[in-house]
Amino acid sequence: MAQQKLVILGAGFAGLSLAKKLRKTDLEITLIDQYNFHQFQPLFYQVATARLEPSSISFPLRKVFQRCKNVHIRVTKVEEVDTLNNIVHTEDGDFPYDHLVIATGCTTNFFGNKNVEKYGYTMKSTPEAITLRNRILLNFEEALKATPEELERIMNIVVVGGGPTGVELCGALAEMRKNVLPRDYPDMDFSKLKIYLLEGTDKTLAAMSPVSQRKSQQYLEQLGVQVWTGALMQDYDGKTVTIKDGRSIPTQNLIWTAGVMGNVPAGISKDVIVRGNRIKVDETHHVAGSSNVYAIGDVSYMETAEWPKGHPQLANVANHQAANLASNFKALLKGRAPKPFKYKSPGTMATVGKRKAVCDLPFISYQGVLAWLTWMFLHLMLILNTKNKLFIFINWAISYFTNDTTLRLILLPTRKQVELGKEHHTLDAA
């Protein structure tokens, strides 16, 4: 009997975890991603603020599956999914399947604002985090020769979105301003460097407990971040951020962390796409109306009695969904019935800076040093391999004891790199 073909789209937490759990089965697995590495998204902000090297949070996919005869890696972009003929069309050819798992994650949601999309910076991939790091570091080189008008735009950094990413990034930037930059640039006045966090609602970390919301804002303000709640951004022209209440901030540094939406491949019926551009699935991860197409991770939307508005878009959810779907595939191969997905949240957390974090567990909320240690331990445990765990721990230890890092490298692409990116479709031709 021929091996059944399983195609997995996306090598994020959900896709990678699923492939790993099925690598010793009789399935012939093809894992497709536009990058040849897995990215640890929760620490993108530390790459952007020069605390960690990109290689510390990125893992080559072929290394993960070196000894797996039934797992095949393909680095390409998906053009369309043909669910009628069971084929995935990519830039590098077609891949027929018996089972398809969509684990393409999410992408930045600009809510239709083309100017923010054009001029703002985001952090949804390792290359984007490197680009933001270059922008932040180049700021201060430009400041040395700037006019007073230019200097104000350079020295204002605006982060839009008061969720965990925005809060953690602002905390890291504030500590960089306090501990690192004055030593790197002794001839500059960093009291002029202002960090703004704009949040459209009346609180930061809206998904967390009221005490964690209040404490996170308190921590940010202690670090000198200007937290503007109830500040709904209206537009950005590359030089000035305008807010709906009439206020404005001159800046050339807008970092957008305010929204995400599902990254749905072309070919998926609009009838199964719901709020947040996510794919509606049943409790066994089947895409609505399909018997052999599944969706897991951030791109999937599953309503259950415990989660009537769908599950949160978190790495922990993605990993648990991958584990459940892997068990169901193993059951399918043995002729057994699949089990519905059940998820109980272990809690949420966010770090704001050194010895400053907030943590909500199902039975308790706590803040401060203990929450910070909890955050570090759990994130370190989620890192894929021991070598990267060690590198990250060493970098964190150096940063803790010296209030400094040695990773502030401005690495801009050469002409050849840009041409290579276009040739291999990792950059837009434009």
Is residue 219 domain-shared with residue 254, that is, in the same domain? yes
Q: Is residue 420 part of a domain?
A: no
- Give ∠ CA 157-244-275 in degrees, rounded to 5: 90
The dihedrals phi and psi of 298, each to the nearest 5 degrees, come to: -60, -25
Pinpoint the alpha helices (H) of 292-425: 315-333, 369-382, 386-402, 415-423
Q: How far apart are CA 166 and CA 157, in angstroms?
A: 12
Q: How many domains does the chain have?
A: 2
Is residue 91 domain-shared with residue 163, that is, in the same domain? no
Question: What pLDDT is recorded for position 427?
Answer: 56
Which pairs count as long-range contacts for 88-95, CB under 8 Å and 24+ apart, including other chains? 88/7, 88/9, 88/32, 89/267, 90/32, 91/425, 95/7, 95/30, 95/32
Is residue 358 domain-shared with residue 386, that is, in the same domain? yes
Q: Is residue 414 part of a domain?
A: no
Is residue 149 domain-shared with residue 281, that is, in the same domain? no
Is residue 311 domain-shared with residue 387, that is, in the same domain? no
Is residue 253 domain-shared with residue 266, that is, in the same domain? no
Q: Is residue 421 part of a domain?
A: no
Is residue 266 domain-shared with residue 286, that is, in the same domain? yes
Q: How far apart are CA 73 and CA 360, in angstroms?
A: 38
**CATH code for position 311:** 3.50.50.60
Q: Is residue 423 part of a domain?
A: no
Q: Is residue 419 part of a domain?
A: no
CB atoms within 10 A of CB 32: 24
Identify the bridge partners of residue 228 per DSSP, sorted by sequence position: 198
Question: What pLDDT is recorded for position 412?
Answer: 84
**CATH code for position 375:** 3.50.50.100
Question: What pLDDT is recorded for position 425?
Answer: 64
Is residue 368 domain-shared with residue 248, that is, in the same domain? yes
pTM of the model: 0.92
Is residue 266 domain-shared with residue 233, that is, in the same domain? no
What does each C-alpha distance from 36 to 64, 71, 160, 299, 323 come to in angstroms? 11, 14, 30, 20, 22
Question: What pLDDT is recorded for position 430?
Answer: 35
Is residue 91 domain-shared with residue 153, that is, in the same domain? no
CB atoms within 10 A of CB 388: 18
CB atoms within 10 A of CB 141: 12
Question: What pLDDT is recorded for position 349?
Answer: 94
The range of the structural domain enclosing residue 151 comes to 114-258+354-402
Is residue 269 domain-shared with residue 150, that is, in the same domain? no
Is residue 148 domain-shared with residue 243, that is, in the same domain? yes
- What is the pLDDT tens value at each position of the chain, 430 positions in all? 568 999 999 999 999 999 999 998 999 999 999 999 999 999 999 999 999 999 999 999 999 999 888 999 999 999 999 999 999 999 999 999 999 999 999 999 999 999 999 999 999 999 999 999 999 999 999 999 998 888 999 999 999 999 999 999 999 999 999 999 999 999 899 999 999 999 999 999 998 999 999 999 999 999 999 999 999 999 999 999 999 999 999 999 999 999 899 999 999 999 999 999 999 999 999 999 899 999 999 999 999 999 999 999 999 999 999 999 999 999 998 989 999 999 998 899 999 999 999 999 988 999 999 999 999 999 998 888 888 999 999 999 999 999 887 778 888 888 888 888 777 766 553 3
Q: How far apart are CA 344 and CA 359, in angstroms?
A: 16
- The secondary element (H helix, E strand) that includes residue 47 is helix 44-48
